[in-house]
Amino acid sequence: MDLFELLNFYIVPGVVLGSIYALGAVGITLIFGILRYAHLAHGDLATLGAFLALAVVTGFGVSPYAALPVAIIGTAAVAVGIDKVFYEHLRERPKIVTVMASLGIALMIRAVVQVVWGVDTQTYTRGIVRPEDYFGIRVRDRELYTILAMVVLVGFLQVFLTRSKWGKAMRAMSDNPNLALLSGIDNKKVVMLTWVIAGGLCAASGFFLGINTELKAMMGWHMLLPMFAAAILGGVGRVEGAVLGGLIVGVAEEVSVLFIPSEYKAAMAFAILLFMLLVRPTGLLKGKVL
């Protein structure tokens, strides 16, 4: 195997897959950092976002990329609604109650997707897309758009968290919730903003997975473990850590097929998750401990 074969068949697909995982992992790390629980419905929210974009594409005949903003807004609204209806009254209960409730929400969202769109595999566009050659590295346009979108979305989020008033409020809630409340920060608005951002990133993650592969009702559930592995690997509560973790997990999964059957490449995420929990629970960038 030469260098370009390694890059074209393993590294580039790994970076694309890692970018998708990174978008979802950022949402997971925000929810845990501020609300202090693991959200098990995250993957199915990503599925919902992907299928909302499909509904816009099939209903109005627009480009899938034009449908992405609608999917982001719709999924963010659903995420806020789920929090208001199902999670808000559990705030004072033990966090494991909310975690188990989120598993029930995941099943509900998946059932809605299966009832509305069916269980068959679907796609945004049909036909074969040939990759472009960039100095020997072959990349499809949609793969470039996936990586670029991840960089832009995470970049805007970092600027928002570090420069804006509400971004600083979210960071304060993540660092010390009690002190943030004593400082006059509106807890309800911070929570709602967290769900808006996490829901939007879920939609983007599901959309780019769908446009690079296919849309399936179980696609988000299969993404859940790699996204959690990425968040824990980078450091829970650290946005840049989620991106780093996502890229590492994505590349590790793709490269692993050189040594193990492709059917078992998802086991790499599980192995990384267990290894980090045993060796360094705070992750590579010293985040919070689950």
Integer Cα distance of 77 and 85 in angstroms: 12
Integer Cα distance of 83 and 62 in angstroms: 31
One-letter amino acid of 26: V
Cβ atoms of 32 and 288 within 8 Å: the answer is: yes
CATH match of 3-119+136-279 with 3.40.50.10420? no
Integer Cα distance of 16 and 142 in angstroms: 9
- Bridge partners, residue 236, by sequence: 288
Helix, strand, or coil (residue 39): coil
- Bridge partners, residue 134, by sequence: 137
Helix, strand, or coil (residue 85): helix
pLDDT tens-place values along the chain, 290 residues long: 677 788 888 899 999 999 999 999 999 999 998 998 999 999 999 999 999 999 999 999 899 999 999 999 999 999 999 999 999 999 889 999 999 999 999 999 999 999 999 999 999 988 777 778 777 788 899 999 999 999 999 999 999 999 999 999 988 888 877 777 778 788 889 999 999 999 999 999 999 999 999 999 999 999 999 999 999 999 888 899 999 999 999 999 999 988 888 778 888 888 888 888 888 888 888 776 65
Q: How many CA atoms lie within 13 A of 209 on its CB side?
A: 35
Integer Cα distance of 86 and 156 in angstroms: 29
